[in-house]
Amino acid sequence: MVGYPAETTEAFCDGHVRAFAFFGGVPKSILYDNTKIAVSRILGDGKRQRTRVFTELQSHYLFEDQFGRPGKGNDKAKSKGLWAMRAATSSYPSRLFESFEALNAHLLECCRSRMADCLRGRDETIGGRLQRDLAAFQTPLPAPYDACEKVATTVSSLSLVRYRRNDYSVPTIYGHRDVLVRGYVHEVVISCGAEVIARHPRSYEREDFVFDPLHYLALIEQKINALDQAAPLGRLALAGGSSPRCGVF
């Protein structure tokens, strides 16, 4: 069980990567609802047209998929996720976590602590039943799938790259160059060719502005009075020299 900032494609893929790492193997088949992250279209004969990313994920880990019938909630155990969340939060009904990393560490510990429990009507612990299930998993695990969204774009004249309605800075020498943006759950990585040229914390705001002041150092060295041409530094000055969206990596 993992918490994410939003229901996105990269979160969907990251959840699979984390789950397979936790189990130490890959199940032969997985049952899904008809999320648009996995299914782009339900055809007339009931067959599913998979999305490109889901096809990549499935090909990487080599598992089969099954889908519940639209509008048939009894095809999948919806309540299990809600039950697990209630079990994990019952001890801390109003607890706030300082980060998703801290939240997920707590959720992981809750999952592990449940292994010794025995559900009503069962004679075997959750951990014991899991071990029997794991015997049917596919092992060993392949290298982790790169759980991110990939977007090809171009750097603007202000050395900014637009991704999901937010702007991220790159060094000024890459202005107007073609780049590849990899959007992870908590990070945005920007590459030009085979070189990684920028890393930023992921923002889930709209029209946000995430930058590294060092990306504009070369411009300032060439033109000492170029603050008006370096939009991020101008914003930094207006903010009194600090910004919650500013970081050096």
Q: Is the pLDDT reported for residue 123 higher than 90?
A: no
Model confidence band, residue 244 (pLDDT cutoffs 50, 70, 90): very low
Burial class (CB in 10 A: 0-12, 13-18, 19+), 103: middle
pLDDT of residue 232: 59
Location of structure tokens 């609802």: 33
Q: Which residue has the higher pLDDT, 137 or 225?
A: 137
CA angle 124, 130, 131 (to 5 degrees): 95
pTM, 2 dp:
0.78
**Res 236: pLDDT:** 54
pLDDT of residue 204: 95
3-state secondary structure of 208: coil
Mean pLDDT of the chain: 84
Q: How many CA atoms lie within 13 A of 13 on its CB side?
A: 25
| pLDDT bucket at 234, cuts 50 / 70 / 90 | low
Report whether pLDDT(189) > 80. yes
Name residue 188's beta-bridge partners: 183, 200
Mean pLDDT of 110-121: 86
* Contact between residue 53 and residue 9 where contact means Cβ atoms under 8 Å apart: yes
The answer to whether 92 and 83 have CB atoms below 8 angstroms apart is no
